[in-house]
Structure 1
Amino acid sequence: MSQNNPQPRVNLIQTPEYRDTYANSVQIRVSVWDFHLVFGQANSETPDQLSIQNHQGIFLSPQQAKALWNVLGQNLAQYEQAFGELNLEPQNPNFPQGVVN
């Protein structure tokens, strides 16, 4: 960026409705116009049944979805560099199944 066009200062403001929420499930729905990310919480009450309670849907433009992809990729690379590689599947064959308290 040239000195003629300085970066604007960004002021982050949280609305009164803002909430932090835990999600261990995300579903992605795609259309020509947008990406719809649906966040929820998955619970396994029995080994053969999984329930997902969706609690928030976020629509992103394709450009914002790509920007999110890039930022997540950079942050995951930094996380793995600091803490080790993430595996999506448990590597321990004795990993507990079902409800874990």
Structure 2
Amino acid sequence: MSQNPQQPRVNMVQAAGYRDTYANSVQIRVSVWDFHLIFGQANSESPDQLSIQNHQGIYLSPQQAKALWNVLGQNLAQYEQAFGELNLEPQIPNFPQGTVN
């Protein structure tokens, strides 16, 4: 009979500089060593002008990127089950005029 090892207690603490930020733009750069996720906010001043202000870049190991992909997939499935299917925008989104928030 095998025993299950006890899971460690997790103590999550927010760093002094922690902040929540809205992002409607995520760019991903990939290398053999890591994934670089760049979060920003897109807004359109005119129909032919799109500006993206990047405000945070996060580097992830390939293993952590895959773990994020798994947990996002699980949470999106639960969200769609509760609220209905999400439809993605066309490849060339038509951003509204002014600041997007």
**Same fold by TM-score greater than 0.5:** yes
Equivalence map 1:1-101=2 (5 Å): 3-89=3-89, 98-99=96-97
TM-score of the superposed pair, with normalisation by structure 2: 0.87
Quick check: 2:43–2:95 contact (8 Å CA) kept in 1? no
Q: Distance in 1 between matches of 2:95 and 2:19?
A: 31
Q: Distance in 2 between matches of 1:21 and 1:69?
A: 20
TM-score of the superposed pair, with normalisation by structure 1: 0.87
Q: Which runs of 5+ in 1 are unaligned?
A: 91-95
CA offsets per residue over residues 43-98 of structure 1, 9 Å max, x none?
A: 011111100000000000000000000000000000000000001127xxxxx863
CA offsets per residue over residues 10-68 of structure 1, 9 Å max, x none?
A: 11000110000000000000000000000000001111110000000000000000000
Q: Percent identity?
A: 83
Q: Which runs of 5+ in 2 are unaligned?
A: none
- Number of matched residues? 95
Tell me the C-alpha RMSD between the 2 structures.
1.9
- Larger RCO: 1 or 2 (CA < 8 Å, sep 6+): 2
